[in-house]
Amino acid sequence: MRRTRAVYPSIKELIPAIQIGDIVFLQTKKALGSRFIRFATHSHWSHVGMVFDIIEHGAGRTILVIEAVENGVEIHRLERYIQNPETYDFGFKRFPGLTEIERQKIRALFLNAVDVPYDWYRLISFFLVGAISKYFGIDIMKFFRGSLIDKKKFLCTTFVQRSLYYGVDPSKRESTLFRPGDKEPSFEYRLEKIQPTEIAQSKNTLWLYHPHR
């Protein structure tokens, strides 16, 4: 299948076009945890965040990225990743058609999530259950769907999914879901059980920048 070319071929061209609510993909090249996630999910990416705010100044733009990390939901400058290419690989996607009101609503949801704990239990459990299903041919995930979901905590991917879903107009919400309905009938599971590769492959989002496209 032919891959769609990203809109912006370079970081320099990308920066002026970034908007609040854009999705940031990350790969920490040498980190063992990143390698494990990429191997387990068959993805180039191991982590996702979103653009929280953009500060305009004489030297250009400072892009603030909000993300669910090991210590909870935190805000970092995009420069942290741009200035360390030997450590990080990153890309950008966008859910097209966000209005200014929706972007500000998404931003408000971000603020309410700052310092919310990371859901380590769910992350580890998903990988263990997935391994059991893969190697023993037993679909046991259905027994864990309720117990693995704690709506008071986030994975990086569920943080992005929830922010988009609850930030847009209700008429758009179905199109923000990264898990197709015909593959997983449970709404709660579609909203909560997301992997970086599903966001990367989503046809409802547009690649703005990808280092390999």
Task: Supply angle C-alpha 159, 60, 63, rounded to 5.
Answer: 10
State whether the Cα torsion 57-61-172-190 is positive or negative: negative
Q: Hey, what are 139's tokens?
A: 């679909």
| pTM greater than 0.85 (yes/no) | no
Joined tokens for residue 44: 């180039």
User: 118 forms bridges with which residues in the sheet?
Assistant: 154
d(CA 3, CA 114) in angstroms, rounded, equals: 35
pLDDT digits (tens, 9 = 90+) for 193-208: 788 888 999 999 999 9
Q: 8-48: per-residue pLDDT in tens?
A: 999 999 999 999 999 999 988 877 777 777 776 677 888 89
What is the gyration radius of the CA atoms in the chain, in angstroms? 17
Domain ranges of the chain: 11-209
| Mean pLDDT, rounded, of the chain | 79
According to CATH, what is the number of the domain 11-209?
A: 3.90.1720.10
35-86 pLDDT, tens digit per residue, is 777 776 677 888 899 999 999 988 889 999 988 776 777 888 999 899 988 8
